[in-house]
Chains A and B, each alone.
Chain A
Amino acid sequence: MPLLTADRAASAAVRVQELTRTYDAGGQPVTALDGIDATFVRGTFTAVMGPSGSGKSTLLQTAAGLDRPTSGRVFVGDTEMTRLSEAALTRLRRTKIGFVFQMFNLIGALNVEENITLPLRLSGARPDRRWLAEVTHRVGVTNQLHRRPAELSGGQQQRVAIARALAIRPDVVFADEPTGALDSHTASAVLELLRSIVDDHGQTIIMVTHDPVAASYADRVVTLADGRIVADRNQREAEAVA
């Protein structure tokens, strides 16, 4: 049964409609997204899977407002992102959306604490000390707050990136292969962290991965091929409805 029912439509964290994105690769148009419709419900953990080049990253980036679709619409909560100016889009991103990328998440010049508070600082918001303390404790980087990213392991860096994403109390966190550069032991620790954030705080997470083990932590798995959704499966409906 589809996740979207009438009474849950209001609780959609992110909604995309007829999303297409074409790239111009040396004069040759490449269709990365070919008409995607999807709704991501609040408090759920979705994995986006598919072969390399199927459009996973493009979907994530357009849904997150990092890139603009060629056509179609993107809603975060009630706001239609596709209509916003670049500056307004940025303001929306830094108040409602968190990101975790595969690597290069952190600014080398800033220490861990400064990296975590960067979006808050840029929006001129006063950091909520208690929430920050909770977040850093939660992801387990409390003891590394004054270190530089270069002095951290890959797993620690991803934890800092997750803390930065959570620091703004986002409506949704997007993650693009957050464990792609980690060994399997570290990866499962990071995935468990993401899972527990969904379970304990009702956070919405959309994560791109090509690893079935990583996808097994999610409530729902959306599979892409050639820019289209070819499968959409709920695997933990009980938790998702919690």
Chain B
Amino acid sequence: MTGIALRLLRHRPGSVLATLIALIAGVTILTSMGALVESGLRPLPEPQQYANAEIVVAKRDLTITGKQLGDPYTATVQLPERGSLPAGLADELRKVPGVENVAGNADALTLQASDRVAVEKVAASAGAQVYTGNDRVLVERPDIAEARGLLIEVGGAFGGYVVMLVMFVVAGTIGLSIRSRRRDLALLRATAATPGQVRRMLMAEAAILAVAGSVVGVPAGLLASRWLGEQLVARGFVPADYGLSRGLLAAPAAVLLIVLVALGSALLASRKLSGIRPAEALSQIAVEPARLSKVRLGFGLVALTGAVSSSAVSVGAGGQAALAGAVSMLYLFVLAVALLAPWINGITARYLAPVLRAGWGNSGYLAAKNLAANARGGATVLTALVLSIGFGGSVWFLQDNVERQTVQQLKSGTLAQYTVLTPGEVSVEKLGRIPGVEAVTPMRQTAVIVKVLDTLEVVPAQAIDPAQAKATLDLKVRKGELAAVGPDSIAVSATQAASRGWKVGDEASLWLGDGTPKRLRVAAIYERGLGFGDVVLSTATFGQPPTKLLIRATPDAVPALKAAIGQSATLIPSEQATAGVSKDLAISAWLNKLLITVMIGYAGLAAANTMTVAALARRRELAVLQLAGVTTRQLKRMVHAEQAGLLGVSVLIGGVIAAVTLTAVVYALTGGAVPYVPLAGVLAILGGATLIAMGTTIVPIARLLRQSSLAAAGTRE
């Protein structure tokens, strides 16, 4: 069958090319996504500082075990702050038989031991871990451990959504290209191919295309992952000596996945075709059965309900989690649209008919009839357009909204006019006594760890001295009081309070950044969580030195302040500090934006491809219309009218989906009900969708119309 499959492929270069492009781009994306995960999982470099230590004991991770619904689980996170070892641990370890040469300090201990397990037991009782081999590098190089975590998180979590997108697009394109050849396949069945032979032929064809796509996609993916690696190092996401993988393992995995997805979608599409009656080859126009299954309708409504209700649930805090939440919500919506598309198309065709007639006359009339008759075939096209409009209209703006809101909250929440960076050992009391200084608030950017179901989540936090915070910070406290935050209490953001179910007066269980477990009372709930972190601790709870000082003072106090803080610290106006933060934000958002661009681009490509395949499949139908006396000009107008109708519906549905998703996520994150959407962005999305919808249909149709209609009506599909 492979021979025949190849012949059939060569005969329809247009749709083969479209499928190939989707596959090539898919392999490229999967390879470079995979390279990230591969880099995250690759062997660590040799340790330097601990090169000669057989065993290192340190506190760098937090691990919990427990049972969730009877299933045991283990969760581990890297500690946001270096954990220190209890004073007695060295002596405890010396008591373990076989342990020798214990040395070190509160940060880490080195030792030799004959029984590693015994050491682990003692270490674990102090919340510490045992590191041997190349793992020792994790103790001396927290930046490597952090890069590792980032690579796995981005490659794995976000990569999962990219994989789903690629699968969705590849399956859609292959399915469409198979369905558009219904008549040829019916003829094959009539002239003696068994259903199994047709299925094997279609699968052979899909496999050939997937492999051919990989031949181009793998080198492209390797190049892309090389570039991505360079960027990650240059932008400080990954240390230069980390040694990123180039995707040599990811590439075969990507190829395997693409081949399997291609085979699977060919199998699925051919199963749908197995109901094909060979007798269909004889009829004038091969149409798909008009009956739509109730099951499909049911699943579509379930997906829609799921999407709508998931938009009511607040999503996790933090840029990455918010993005993931938004994308999964979008997927549910798009799935619902994919399932309900035949009905949507049918209803649209009915209501659009008068509009299309008014705008395009007889061509509009034909267009409405086509939309109605092709309600099912048009499903893929509608879904692809909605997908790209929904994506374009939400995730990009979401990232923008998060950045804007963060900076906005920082600006309006900082009452102190001056900020001291890298304060070191500067005495807060001394600064407070300078004439013209009203208040000084030391602040340390840190993070805490909370348990969410059976996982651990790192939550951004600040440790402050609340004494004078009223004059330097306005966190927009909604309940309780910031001044009430003391050694045994915290303030939490409204977002965090809502998702954890915390109220003022409740006890919150969490771990400090260095892994110390705490039970702290919620003393206040505030709104500006994006700008100032979701948890505010007292310096009395977490005594690490501050990373900055907020100072409320009159301008004439500046010279004295500058003199008092010394050479190593810097005093800048707070607006300047905020600008610095927004620059840092933009840098850390770079990776998100890159991934978003790739996803939107791929969705757009998918839409373009789908419409090209659908347009090329209309050769015979157009020829029949031409023979029936419809002029080329009228046909073109008819196609314009159809695309305009389709585009209008897609913009409407995609726009609503994007708006709901964006509003829900932005509301959950910021409490603001109206997301910020720049006009230029909206115009770019609309323009892009219009360009795709018109360009990818009008060009192939014009090409079809140049060919002789008789020949097309006679033999070719």
List residues of A whose CB falls within 8 A of some B CB: 57, 61, 66-67, 86-87, 90-91, 93-94, 99, 101-110, 114, 118-119, 121-123, 149-150, 154, 157, 164, 168, 176, 181
Contacts and interface: CB of A to CB of B under 8 A. Distances in A.
B11 A108 contact: yes
B195 A90 contact: yes
Given A86-B195, A99-B190, A107-B187, 15 more contacts: A61-B279, A66-B190, A91-B194, A94-B191, A105-B187, A109-B8, A118-B192, A119-B192, A122-B188, A122-B191, A122-B193, A149-B716, A154-B714, A164-B191, A176-B282
B277 A90 contact: no
B711 A66 contact: no
Contacts of A87: 194-196
A104 B188 CA distance: 11
A93 B194 CA distance: 10
10 contacts: A66-B281, A67-B277, A90-B189, A106-B715, A108-B11, A108-B184, A108-B716, A109-B8, A118-B188, A150-B714
A57 B282 contact: yes
Contacts of B7: 109-110, 114
B11 A66 contact: no
Nearest to B188: A107
A157 B714 contact: yes
A108 B282 contact: no
Contacts of A57: 282
B4 to A, nearest CB: 7
Contacts of B278: 66-67
B197 A122 contact: yes
B717 A108 contact: yes
A121 B4 contact: yes
Nearest to B7: A109
Interface string B269-288: 00000000111011000000
Contacts of A93: 190, 192
A108 to B, nearest CB: 4
B183 interface: yes
Interface in B185-240: 187-197
B706 interface: no
B714 A122 contact: no
A90 B192 contact: yes
A190 to B, nearest CB: 15
Contact of B281 (A91, A104, A108, A154): A104
B10 interface: yes
Contacts of A176: 282
A90 B282 contact: no
A123 B281 contact: no
Contacts of B194: 86-87, 90-91, 122
A56 to B, nearest CB: 11
B180 to A, nearest CB: 14
Interface bracket on B: 20 to 34
A139 B8 CA distance: 26
Interface in B240-278: 277-278
A90 B193 CA distance: 7
Contacts, number: 87
Interface of B: 4, 7-8, 10-12, 183-184, 187-197, 277-279, 281-282, 711, 714-717
B715 A149 contact: yes
Contact of B715 (A86, A94, A157): A157
Nearest to A168: B192
Contacts of B189: 90
A192 B279 CA distance: 26
A102 B282 contact: yes
Given A61-B279, A118-B191, A150 B716 contact: yes
Contacts of B715: 104, 106, 108, 149-150, 157
A107 B184 contact: yes
B714 A103 contact: yes
Nearest to A121: B4
A108 B191 CA distance: 14
A45 B184 CA distance: 29
A84 B106 CA distance: 82
Q: Which of A103, A104, A108 has the most CB of B within 10 A?
A: A104
B115 to A, nearest CB: 66
Contacts of B281: 66, 101, 104
Contacts of A106: 715
A143 to B, nearest CB: 19
A148 B698 CA distance: 28
Nearest to A61: B279
A66 B279 CA distance: 5
Contacts of A114: 7
A150 B12 CA distance: 14
A75 B7 CA distance: 36
Contacts of A104: 183, 187, 281-282, 714-715
Contacts of A168: 192
A66 B277 CA distance: 7
Contacts of B192: 90, 93-94, 118-119, 122-123, 168
Nearest to A152: B715
Contacts of A66: 190, 277-279, 281-282
A103 B283 CA distance: 9
A99 B278 CA distance: 11
B458 to A, nearest CB: 58
B193 to A, nearest CB: 5
Q: Which of B183, B190, B192 has the most CB of A within 10 A?
A: B192
A175 to B, nearest CB: 11
B191 A99 contact: yes
5 closest residue pairs by CB, A with B: A94-B192, A109-B11, A119-B192, A67-B279, A90-B194
Contact of B191 (A91, A102, A109, A119): A119
Nearest to B291: A24
Q: Which of A61, A102, A121 has the most CB of B within 10 A?
A: A61
